[in-house]
Structure 1
Amino acid sequence: MSIDSYEASRKRSDEIRADLPEHPEKYTMLTGDRPTGRLHLGHYFGTIRERVALQDLGISTRIIIADYQVITDRDTTANIADNVRNMVVDYLACGIDPAKTIIFTHSAVPALNQLMLPFLSLVTESELLRNPTVKAEQDASGHALTGLLLTYPVHQACDILFCKGNIVPVGKDQMPHIEQTRQIARRFNERYGHVFPEPDGLLNDAPAIPGLDGRKMSKSYGNAISLSATDAETAKLIKKSQTDADRNITYDPEGRPGVSALLTTAALCTGRTEADIAAEIGDGGSGTLKKYVTESVNAYLAPIRARREELLADMDYIEDVLHEGNRAANEIANATLDEVRETMGMVY
């Protein structure tokens, strides 16, 4: 993505952010996650907290649990049903309200997935191969490039456009997906007739949440603190995190990634700055730092974890949330597919 293109996207994103509180009724937001495991602090500070804020502004909010996209780079669906249900539990515990937000799964909404067929005719092989996320996912998985991974950006366009989504919270690295979705919407509208909005990326300023080893927090790296972890499990994870021998605690992400990652985690959970926390700990060493981080994380997550326990005690309610979300998503998707077929002249 060119600098000029990014700057234009940033300007548009800033304009939308200013307008959201004034005219929430103008916007439909689509976002989601792949159910590959438990959600963690990186998900919470990176996206979920913002979803709750947008939902509470009164914006039409849809969250997709992208179960079909699990098999873009994995050979099994073992544990997927448990992951889906626990993802719903995590969402609700963090403040997503199913009375305001539709939560649904890919596999339960056939009309959404049927949009793949006309949308695939609107993109070229070279355009799909150029998408940096496709390359990154393939490199990370070590798998051969499957047809599903190659068409991953088109599937994401279906996710966004089936509900006429016009804003998508993203980081800078996800902007190519938004550009491809805009391109698909534009080409469809030009070729057949106007059906879809051209969505904008709502760029977030959330920092890359570091894991306990200084790398990006990720389930696959084993460096993540799950929202569902107990206080004791959290303490054990933080205690095992890598620091260094220097007892004087300073914030230096390049030179001291382990120490700095812990400081950032504490800063997010307390609202303080990394430098302020480092100055307070001073020569207390990594043991004092880890104790402070553990207490900060556990205190911050306490209400979320308490709500999780309540929800886990009523899994029938979780099933109801999923069923109602899938029903509502199907209603929207069926109406959009009918409109697409009519616009294409395919009503017989």
Structure 2
Amino acid sequence: MFTSTTPTTTTSSPDSPSAAGPAASSESSGSAGHTPLLAEESDVRADPGRYRVLTGDRPTGPLHLGHYLGTLHNRVRLQCLGVETYIVIADYQVITDRNRPGDVAANVHEIVLDYLAAGLDPSRTTIFAHSTVPALNQLLLPFLSLTSVAEMQRNPTVKEEALTAGISSVSGLLLTYPVHQAADILFCHGNLVPVGADQVPHIEQARLVARRFNERFADGHALFAEPQGLLSPAPVLLGVDGQKMSKSRGNGITLRATEDETARLIRQAVTDSERLITYEPERRPQVANLLLIAAMCTGATPEALAAEIADGGAAALKHVATDAVNEHLRPLRSRRAGLAAEPGLVQHVLRTGAERANEVARQTLDDVQDTLGMRY
């Protein structure tokens, strides 16, 4: 799931911003009527009220350091800038690539605690689960009519998810995953989607759905704006096994881990046999990864940390990385423990988020059904 610019709607309620935003601008390439695929950070900072973010996570396991440094921190930043933010916990999408869902309820509970501990504020950010917003999921049906099987099969993320899960037969839910994500974005007229470079095809799919809906069903009227991606400045972090840090691989340092558990995991991290520590991402990716993690946690540069460690070897590098991570996460972990002790907190956040998301989704579905002539 990705973590998801001014929406154009047929209503003028607070939940349906007007067309006076990025959707009304033209492509930088000169294609009139279309917003550029990627938004500029400077534009978001200049007028955050023009944007509505949709982003989220699949509750397949605990969030880890890579999530915090790569996405959670950015979500909090956008929230604090004043960007209206929706975060979907994509529980239905857990079963896109697995036969059993696992303990989804427990995973959802823990993810919400991570969100709150990281600084997401439920009074400013709408946090909800897929399964609690029926109107959002109902949008999948008309949206599927706008997308060919061949287009879904070509989506690189579908192929990657299937490969990662080790499945040879792609389910219908996994095949339609990108269209479901388009529904996630468009249900709230989201127009800004924070993504990594590998997730840009999902934005393209959502833009395609929005454009085709407007052209085929709305006689060219812009019921849906074409959302833009906002590339995350955070690099991809490797797990302790040297592969991309991932919930499904279980190779990350979870946010709820203790300091001792963090130290143990970092001691297990793959490095190399060279004693002199240098920051060379291409030649020494595992060593560079630990330096990068420590740098992101301390504010130093990877090069400066490498020079400081010098010929201390992997043991000294891991010691520096452990101290940096534990020091950086200590306040978050302390807040998380306090939040976990508040009875009913998570349920309240999800319930109020679902109420807000349902209100918006029902209005969008009403507009879609009006457009299709399906309101009886």
TM range (shorter): over 0.9
In the TM superposition, what is the alpha-carbon distance from 1:156 to its structure 2 partner?
A: 0.2
Q: 1:87 aligns with which of 102, 111, 114?
A: 111
Q: Which residue of 2 aligns with 1:3?
A: none
| Aligned positions of 1:284-299 closer than 5 A | 284-299=312-327
Match of 2:183 in 1: 158
- Offset of residue 284 of structure 1: 1.2
Give matches, 1:244-259, under 5 Å: 244-259=272-287
Match of 1:339 in 2: 367
Could you tell me which residue of structure 2 aligns to residue 313 of structure 1? 341
Give CA-to-partner distance per residue, 1:4-54, whole Å, 9 cap, x none.
Answer: xxx969976353x21223322211110000001110111111111111111
1:298-334 deviations in Å (ceiling 9; x for gaps): 0000010001100110141111001000111011101
Asked if 1 retains the 8 angstrom alpha-carbon contact of 2:152 and 2:176, the reply is yes
**Equivalent residues in 2 for 1:90-101, closer than 5 Å:** 90-101=114-125
Tell me if the contact between 2:242 and 2:269 (Cα under 8 Å) persists in the aligned partners. no
Does the CA contact (< 8 Å) of 2:266 and 2:322 recur in 1?
A: yes
The answer to whether 1:279 aligns with 2:307 is yes
Measured in 2, the distance between the counterparts of 1:109 and 1:210 equals 34
Match of 1:187 in 2: 212
Measure, in 2, the Cα distance between the counterparts of 1:222 and 1:321: 27
Partners of 2:44 and 2:283 in 1: how far apart? 40
Q: TM-score, normalised on structure 1?
A: 0.94
User: How far apart are residue 260 of structure 1 and its match?
Assistant: 1.8
The aligned counterpart of 1:117 is: 141
Point out the more displaced range, 218-227 or 99-108.
218-227
For each residue in 1:92-141, what CA deviation from the matched residue of structure 2 results, as whole angstroms up to 9, or x when unmatched? Answer: 00010000000000001000000011001111111111111111111221
Question: Does residue 78 in structure 1 map to residue 102 in structure 2?
Answer: yes
Cα deviation 1:227-279 (Å, max 9, x = unaligned): 11000000011112122332211122333233222111111111111111111
The separation in 2 between residues aligned to 1:185 and 1:275, in whole angstroms, is 45
Q: Give the letter aligned to residue 52 of structure 2.
A: T
2:62 to 38, 50, 66: 38
Give unmatched runs, 5+ long, in structure 2.
Answer: 1-27
> Residue 54 of structure 1: which of 75, 78, 81 is its match?
78
**Contact 1:10–1:203 (8 Å) recurs in 2:** no
Select which of 127, 143, 161 maps to 1:103: 127
Where does 1:226-241 land on structure 2 (aligned, <5 Å)? 226-241=254-269
SS of the equivalent of 2:344 reads helix
Counterpart-to-counterpart distance in 1, 2:38 and 2:216: 28
Task: In structure 1, list runs of 5 or more residues that go unmatched.
Answer: 1-6
Give yes or no for contact 1:212–1:261 (8 Å, CA) kept in 2: no
Distance 1:51 1:327, change over 3 A: same
SS class of match (2:45): coil
Structure 2 letter corresponding to 1:274:
P
2:198 to 173, 188, 192: 173
Q: Which of 67, 78, 91 is the equivalent residue of 2:91?
A: 67
Change (3 A) 1:10 1:336: closer
Q: CA RMSD, aligned part only?
A: 1.8
AA of the residue aligned to 1:253? P
Identity percentage over the alignment?
57
CA contact (8 A) 1:38 1:226 kept: yes
For structure 1, which segment, 202-211 or 65-74, has the greater mean C-alpha deviation from structure 2 after superposition?
A: 202-211
Secondary structure at the counterpart of residue 136 of structure 2: helix
Where does structure 1 differ by over 3 angstroms across 4 or more consecutive aligned residues? 7-15
Separation in 2 of the partners of 1:12 and 1:149? 24
